[in-house]
Amino acid sequence: MKRLIFLMFPLFLFSCSTTMSVSDKPVRLRVKTMNAGVCHLLETNRKKSSKSPSGYKFNADFIRLNESTDTIKAAIGTRFGVEYVAFSSVYTEVPFKAIWTFPKPIVNEKGKEFSSVKTKIWLETHTRYFSTYSIEKEYEIVKGDWKFELFYGKKLVLTKVFHLI
């Protein structure tokens, strides 16, 4: 029995040291923009969302950046966004708030007005992520400066402005 415990204890320690933790406590981190522009994504999940002008929220397993740019041609079907990584001294999941702010309010077909879209997300550190916006409806074609902001707690850790023409 002692031999079994002696052999199992190092395996237990090893498994604990290699798992991803979820951080309730603040973590010192920095967020680096890797790229931004027009992208293509393989949509894997479309959920209804009353918090979005189009009425949907999209999740994707595959995203490919087609063109690195901050100038975007505003048209139905256009998808654009920013690729980033959160770096810290630990590998963990941390909560963020992502906000897309529009140059002027978008009014959807139900008459609901949106000046921005806010999403709470949990991201793993040291992993590449994309935050994208997809223009799905005619009323979402709003030319001007669209701003993406990522907050960690109350701290703004990333800003990217896209110029929709």
What confidence score (pLDDT) does residue 4 get? 43
Tokens read off for 117: 């879209």
Q: Where are the domains of the chain?
A: 21-164
What confidence score (pLDDT) does residue 37 get? 96
**Most confidently modeled range among 17-21, 62-66, 74-78:** 74-78
pLDDT tens-digit series, residues 65-96: 899 999 999 999 999 999 999 999 999 999 99
State what percent of residues in the chain have pLDDT above 70: 76
CATH of domain 21-164: 2.60.40.2390
Rounded Cα distance between 134 and 142, Å, is 12
pLDDT tens-digit series, residues 24-52: 567 899 999 999 999 987 666 667 777 77
Predicted TM-score of the model (pTM): 0.80
